[in-house]
């Protein structure tokens, strides 16, 4: 949160409007309640963990602010569930990862209602056309995603730059649930260093 506040301070210094600055501060103040709403879906996420626990590979995709979250989600799945997972920028799918998609290679797509939403919809359609299943992280009330994806985890609506704070939570819970369903001790992942050592 402190890094986020520093970011907004710098943005304000670089001519962010006062109105936008106030809006951001208001949305930050709402985050604890929004996080609670996401965490309230633990049962839905547990069911998805059960459904997808037997898969050996997964693709995570996102764009813009949610691209790093796709990387983080894939990393968490690898770390505690020992499932091969790759995070990709959705705009890069045509450069290799799309060739892997089939009924045995599900995709988790992070697609809240934001400035790259239509492009994410296009990516999901490409995956579905190749027989792949899609789990979507989408904004509450998104009917288009509900009709397109196989499964949906909803996050509350907020301003675009804050969506990663909400979209990362279901990914962490999903990795946890898959690890538990596969019979692993998710509190003690194997071969995971708690710190980075430079030699």
| Structural domains in the chain plus CATH codes | 2-30 (no CATH), 38-181 (3.40.50.10490)
| CA–CA distances in Å: residue 70 to residues 76, 147, 164, 168, 179 | 10, 22, 10, 8, 18
User: Regarding predicted confidence, which is higher, 125 or 184?
Assistant: 125
**Please, which residues bridge with residue 144 across strands?**
none
Q: Which of 6-20, 58-72, 105-119, 128-142 shows the lowest mean pLDDT across its residues?
A: 6-20
pLDDT in tens, 12-63: 666 777 787 788 888 888 999 999 999 999 999 999 999 999 999 999 999 9
CA distance 56 to 37: 30
Q: What pLDDT is attached to residue 7?
A: 64
Q: What pLDDT is attached to residue 47?
A: 97
User: Regarding predicted confidence, which is higher, 152 or 27?
Assistant: 152
For the whole model, what pTM was predicted?
A: 0.88
* CA contacts within 13 A on the Cβ side of 198: 0
CA distance 137 to 156: 10
Backbone angles phi, psi at 75, to 5 degrees: -60, -45
CA distance 121 to 111: 8
- Quote the mean pLDDT of the chain: 89
Res 193 pLDDT > 80 = no
Backbone angles phi, psi at 84, to 5 degrees: -65, 120
Count H helices, E strands: the chain?
7, 5
Q: What pLDDT is attached to residue 197?
A: 62
Res 137 pLDDT > 70 = yes
Res 117 pLDDT > 70 = yes
CA distance 94 to 105: 16
Res 84 pLDDT > 90 = yes
Task: Quote the tokens at residue 191.
Answer: 């071969």
């Amino acid at each position: 949160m402190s890094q986020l506040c520093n970011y907004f301070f710098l943005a304000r210094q670089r001519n962010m409007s006062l109105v936008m600055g106030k809006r951001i501060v208001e949305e930050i103040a709402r985050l604890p309640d929004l996080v609670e709403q996401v965490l309230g879906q633990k049962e839905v996420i547990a069911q998805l963990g059960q459904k997808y626990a037997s898969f050996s590979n997964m693709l995570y995709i996102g764009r813009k602010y949610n691209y790093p979250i796709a990387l983080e989600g894939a990393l968490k799945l690898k770390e505690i569930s020992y499932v091969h997972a790759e995070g990709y920028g959705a705009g890069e799918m045509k450069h290799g990862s799309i060739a892997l998609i089939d009924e045995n290679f599900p995709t988790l797509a992070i697609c809240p209602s934001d400035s790259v939403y239509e492009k994410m919809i296009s990516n999901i359609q490409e995956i579905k056309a190749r027989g792949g299943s899609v789990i979507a992280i989408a904004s509450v009330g998104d009917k288009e995603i509900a009709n397109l994806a196989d499964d949906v985890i909803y996050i509350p609506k907020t301003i675009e730059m804050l969506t990663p704070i909400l979209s990362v939570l279901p990914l962490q819970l999903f990795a946890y649930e898959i690890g538990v369903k596969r019979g692993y001790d998710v509190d003690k992942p194997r071969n995971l260093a708690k710190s980075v050592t430079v030699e």
